[in-house]
């Protein structure tokens, strides 16, 4: 049994308050103190006062900047052109491109769902992208 001062571990104790605790508990409290001191040194050393885990809005204000009206309009035009390009190619190619790039499916997943060879899906996507590029060059 070791004697520990609870004032060292709990800030609401204003005066020393000694108790006897088992050796395992005393060792755990000491290990926690060492780990906490290490973390505080890390924060001070690397100036890591803010974390993306903290919900104080700092990271959101940096990551989510307000768009100007020009940017909103440009994004709208780009989407329209992209969908026009998708509509200009054969349906099977458009479906595969949409599944791969918009839905995030891998080419092997698309092949399994359609029960075709993966090479056929890969070639179809490549041809579709080339056809879209030709169409968009004509339009623009």
CATH number at residue 127: 1.10.10.10
What is the Cα–Cα distance from 53 to 72, expressed in whole angstroms? 29
**Do residues 139 and 133 touch, judged by C-beta distance below 8 A?**
no
pLDDT at 68: 87
Query: 3-class SS at 98?
Result: helix
Please tell me the predicted confidence (pLDDT) of residue 58. 61
Look up the domain containing 125 and give its range.
Answer: 66-137
**Averaged over 69-85, what is the pLDDT?**
91
The reply to whether 126 falls in a domain is yes
pLDDT digits 0-9 by tens, 56-68: 566 666 666 778 8
Examine the domain organization and report whether 70 and 38 are in the same domain. no
Q: Whole-prediction pTM value?
A: 0.53
- Determine, yes or no, domain membership for 11: yes
Residue 107, C-beta contacts closer than 8 angstroms, at least 6 positions apart: 100, 118, 121, 122, 125
Average pLDDT over residues 89-118: 93
Would you say residue 61 lies in a domain? no
* Together in a domain, 85 and 130: yes
Judge whether 53 lies within some domain.
no
* Total of domains in the chain: 2
């Amino acid at each position: 049994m070791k004697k520990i001062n609870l004032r060292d571990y709990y800030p609401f104790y204003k005066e020393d308050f000694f108790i006897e605790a088992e050796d395992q508990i005393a060792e755990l409290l000491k290990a926690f103190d060492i780990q906490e001191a290490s973390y505080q040194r890390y924060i001070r050393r690397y100036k890591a006062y803010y974390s993306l885990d903290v919900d104080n809005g700092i990271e959101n204000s940096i990551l989510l900047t307000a768009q100007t009206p020009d940017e909103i309009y440009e994004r709208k035009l780009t989407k329209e052109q992209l969908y026009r390009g998708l509509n200009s190619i054969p349906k099977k190619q458009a479906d595969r491109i949409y599944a791969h790039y918009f839905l995030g499916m891998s080419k092997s997943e698309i092949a399994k769902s359609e029960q075709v060879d993966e090479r056929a899906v890969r070639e179809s996507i490549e041809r579709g992208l080339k056809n879209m590029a030709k169409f968009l060059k004509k339009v623009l």
